[in-house]
Structure 1
Amino acid sequence: MPQRKEAYPRPVPNPGWGPLSTLPGNPLMWVLILSEMVVFAAFFGLFAWLRIGEREVFDASRQLLDPVAGGINTLVLLTSGLFAALAVQAISAGRIRRCRQWLAGAFALGVAFCVVKVMEYADKLGAGLVPETNTFFTFYYLLTGFHFAHVLFGLGLIALVAWRISHDNVETAAAFWHMVDLIWILLYPVIYLLR
């Protein structure tokens, strides 16, 4: 049975938002995204600064992380981001059912990311590696936990958008989800790989 196509044209840019007017999705989401990027940048900067003074502690602690789990989560999250982009493409073509399918795929992979992360947290906590262990683990939990909270928020956004579907809503959720991807792409090497 062919998909029912409904008109979901790209909305007219939001007047009065200056350079944000032409960005996809709701301009207010872009304000949120930019402010969150500033917060994460501050955390990354503080992490790098503290690492200079405690290089041996940071290097030894990093060895206790599982880069494979982090790598799997990177692939899962990037694929989820691809699905979000394909959802935008589908809604732009008026393919509502296909858009919802891509959103469901993005959501499922977001949940998979959470499952891997919770298993990783359980492993570290079970080994006695808590935020108070040292500065590295304080920032490991702070940075990955803050990112995890953004993943959960993004999952809620994707679910809401799949229910209240519109071109603007899908673009807005996808923009936020791509920010979540970008943060993880920066977070993974900084926490798990760089020596």
Structure 2
Amino acid sequence: MSADTTTASAAWPASARQDTRLAGDLAMWLIIGIEMLTFGLMFIVFSFARMREPSVFHAGQATLDLHLGAANTALLLTGSWCAARGVQALRGGTARRGARWLWGAAGFGVGFLLLKSLEYRAKVRAGYDLDTDTFWTFYYLLTGFHFMHVLAAVLLLSGIAWLAPRRGWKGGNTHAPETVTAFWHMVDLLWVVLFPLVYVLR
């Protein structure tokens, strides 16, 4: 390595060099990639099925509550904001504050699960189930699969929030919280695509 290169590296701010690293665990990013691919394929199949049976899908979508879907979107987006603030607080060495933000993110996830459960109950009582038609089959498969991911993310966030004051994560030693937060952001992103695809687009 030349003297110029060494000097340039030393002059480069440490925080900027640290920001170039991959946040979270590589294995989690591989899982995220696989999950994104799986959902992407399901979205494509859903779109083709809608092209084949537009009237069936239009009738099914007309029964969905856009207000509930929008509320769930707001819950997940706010949860992502809380999770990001939690990791930021942990990096700053304020473990209890970070834990509170992470508990908040988990709480918004629980809110999503409760609203979605109420929606499922209303649809089942109205006579819509997996066997009703193609739209409802896809509706329950897509949203149910996502529901399970939200549940997993809530459990992971809760675990990290509980451990935060006990593990002393700070500075660059926030690997575990970053890993869990990356998974939460994936769940959030999937809903941002799923909501307009299933609820809005005709």
Which 4+ runs in 1 deviate beyond 4 A? none
Report how far residue 74 of structure 1 moved: 0.3
Separation (CA, whole Å) in 1 of partners of 2:124 and 2:198: 17
Compare 166-175 and 117-126 and name the one that shifted more: 166-175
Structure 2 Cα separation of the partners of residues 71 and 141 of structure 1: 18
- The residue that corresponds to 2:187 in the other structure is 180
TM-score with structure 2 setting the length: 0.85
Partners of 2:33 and 2:22 in 1: CA distance: 13
- Segments of structure 1 that go 5 or more residues without pairing to the other structure are 1-9, 14-20
The CA deviation string for residues 6-36 of structure 1, in whole angstroms up to 9 with x for no partner, is: xxxx9x98xxxxxxx9310111110000000
Identity %: 45
1:131-170 alignment to 2 at 5 Å?
131-165=130-164, 166=169, 167-170=174-177
- Looking at secondary structure, tell me which structure has more helix per residue: 2
- Structure 2 unaligned regions, length at least 5: 1-14
Q: Which residue is 1:6 aligned to? A: none
Q: Deviations over 1:104-157 (max 9, x none)?
A: 100111000000000000000000000110111000000000000000100111
Larger Rg: 1 or 2? 2
**Matched position secondary structure for 1:22:** coil
Where do 1:9-158 residues align within 5 Å? Answer: 22-158=21-157
User: Residue 68 of structure 1: SS of its match in structure 2?
Assistant: helix
Once residues 157 and 108 of structure 1 are traced to their aligned partners in structure 2, the CA distance between those partners, rounded to angstroms, is 12
Distance 1:32 1:141 in 2: 23
Q: RMSD between aligned alpha carbons?
A: 1.5
Count of residue pairs brought into register by the alignment: 178
Name the counterpart of 1:192: 199
How far apart, in 1, do the equivalents of 2:107 and 2:52 lie? 40
